[in-house]
C-alpha cells in the first residue's frame, strides 16, 4: 500500500466486548501497513481473534517522544498507519492525541474510524441529561489539585463524565460525599464486559456500595448536572468557594471575633481585606471598625 504520502487512521477498538469492533475498523486494521498500538499484547489478542496479521509497533506514553518522528517519517514515506489505544477511541485520555496532532502539523491526512469510547458509553448508561455534557478526563490523583478539580465539578451545570482508577475510587467517593452529598451520580464499571455494572445514587450510597464490594475493574463516574441556582458561588475560590459573607459568618459562629474572621477569610482566599469588608458591609455585626 505504498503511495505518495500515507494516512493516519484513528481506529477505535472495543472497550471490552470484542463484538463492538466495526466492520470498517476491521478492514482498516487489515489493510494498513502498520498498527501503532498502546499495548501491543492486547492489540495482538484482538488481531488474532479476527485473524488479522498486520505488523504492530508500540506507541505509548513512555516512548511517544521518540516514536512520533519515526511514525511521521513512515507516513511521509507513503505507509498507512492505524493508531489504536489500549481500548476505545485513540486520542481520548491516551497518547493517541499527540500523534494525531503531530500528523496534522505535518499536513498528513488523518482519518477517524469511529467506534466505542468509555466516555459516551458511560454517559448514555447513566441516564442523566445528555443535551450538554462535559468530559473532565481523569480525576487528578490526590491532594490540592484533586480538591480544586472536584470543587469545580461541584459547581458544574452540565452533566460531567470523569475517568477514575479503581485504587482511587473510594477516596473520590468520600470527597463527593463531603462536598456534594446531594448530587445524583452514576458509577459505570466494566462497561460492555461480563461484570458490567451501573450503580446510580447519591455519593454516600455509592461509597457504601463500593466499600462493601471493593472496587475492581475500570470505572467512569457520571455526575448529574447541577440545577440552575444550586451549587453556584458568588466568589470563585478553589478551596472554599462559599460566598464571602457566609465564610465570615461561619467563623463568627465558631467564636472568632470579627476582625480576625475577616482577616482569616482574606488570607485563606488570597484577596485584600477590603474586599472581605465590602462583601460583609451590609451585615451590621461586621461593619469595619467594629470588633
What is the contact surface with ligand SAM in residues (CB under 6 A)? 15-16, 85, 87-89, 92-94, 117-119, 163-165, 188, 190-193, 218-220
- Shortest spacing between CB 90 and ligand SAM, in angstroms: 6
Q: By Cβ distance, which residue is nearest to ligand SAM?
A: 88
90 vs 203, beta carbon nearer ligand SAM? 90
Q: Measure the CA–CA gap between 7 and 110, rounded to whole angstroms.
A: 6
Q: Would you say 108 or 188 has its CB closer to ligand SAM?
A: 188
In DSSP terms, 220 is beta-bridged to 163, 188
- For 67-99, the DSSP string reads HHHHHHHHHHTT--EEEE-SSB-TTSSSTHHHH
In the bound state with ligand SAM, the residue whose beta carbon lies nearer, of 120 and 249, is 120
DSSP state of 86: S
Give the residue with the Cβ less far from ligand SAM, 16 or 231. Answer: 16
Strand pairing category for 81-84 and 8-11: parallel
Q: Give least dist CB 97 to ligand SAM, A.
A: 9
Tell the smallest beta-carbon distance from residue 173 to ligand SAM (Å).
14
Smallest separation (angstroms) from ligand SAM to the CB of 118: 3
* Rg, C-alpha atoms of the chain: 25
Smallest distance from ligand SAM to CB 92, Å: 4
**Residue-by-residue DSSP string for 224-289:** PPPPTTSS--SS--SS--S-HHHHHHHHHHTT--HHHHHHHHHHHHT--HHHHHHHHTTSGGG-TT
Please, which residue, 163 or 241, has the CB nearer to ligand SAM?
Answer: 163
Nearer to ligand SAM by Cβ, of 163 and 245: the residue is: 163
Pairing of strands 159-164, 185-189: unpaired
CB of 169 to ligand SAM, least distance (A): 10
Question: Rounded CA gap, 287 and 23, in Å?
Answer: 71
Beta carbons of 18 and 29 less than 8 angstroms apart: no
Asked if 71 contacts 59 with a C-beta cutoff of 8 angstroms, the reply is yes
Amino acid at each position: 500500500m505504498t503511495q505518495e504520502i500515507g494516512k493516519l487512521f484513528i481506529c477505535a477498538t472495543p472497550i471490552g466486548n470484542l463484538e463492538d469492533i466495526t466492520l470498517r475498523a476491521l478492514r482498516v486494521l487489515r489493510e494498513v501497513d502498520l498498527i501503532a498500538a498502546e499495548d501491543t499484547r492486547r492489540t495482538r489478542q484482538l488481531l488474532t481473534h479476527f485473524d488479522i496479521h498486520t505488523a504492530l509497533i508500540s506507541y505509548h506514553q513512555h516512548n511517544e517522544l521518540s516514536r512520533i518522528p519515526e511514525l511521521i517519517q513512515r507516513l511521509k514515506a507513503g505507509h498507512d498507519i492505524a493508531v489504536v489505544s489500549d481500548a476505545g477511541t485513540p486520542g481520548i485520555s491516551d497518547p493517541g492525541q499527540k500523534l494525531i496532532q503531530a500528523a496534522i502539523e505535518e499536513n498528513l491526512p488523518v482519518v477517524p474510524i469511529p467506534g466505542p469510547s468509555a466516555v459516551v458509553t458511560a454517559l448514555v448508561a447513566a441516564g442523566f441529561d445528555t443535551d450538554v455534557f462535559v468530559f473532565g478526563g481523569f480525576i487528578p490523583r490526590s491532594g490540592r489539585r484533586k480538591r480544586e478539580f472536584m470543587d469545580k465539578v461541584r459547581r458544574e451545570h452540565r452533566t460531567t463524565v470523569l475517568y477514575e482508577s479503581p485504587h482511587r475510587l473510594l477516596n473520590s467517593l468520600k470527597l463527593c460525599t463531603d462536598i456534594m452529598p446531594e448530587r445524583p451520580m452514576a458509577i459505570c464499571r466494566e462497561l460492555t464486559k461480563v461484570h458490567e455494572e451501573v450503580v446510580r445514587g447519591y455519593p454516600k450510597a455509592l461509597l457504601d456500595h463500593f466499600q462493601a464490594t471493593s472496587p475492581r475493574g475500570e470505572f467512569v463516574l457520571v455526575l448529574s448536572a447541577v440545577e440552575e441556582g444550586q451549587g453556584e458561588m458568588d466568589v470563585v475560590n478553589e478551596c472554599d468557594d462559599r460566598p464571602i459573607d457566609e465564610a465570615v459568618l461561619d467563623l463568627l459562629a465558631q467564636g472568632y471575633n470579627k476582625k480576625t474572621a475577616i482577616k482569616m477569610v482574606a488570607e485563606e482566599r488570597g484577596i485584600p481585606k477590603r474586599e472581605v469588608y465590602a462583601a460583609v458591609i451590609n451585615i451590621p455585626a461586621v461593619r469595619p471598625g467594629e470588633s
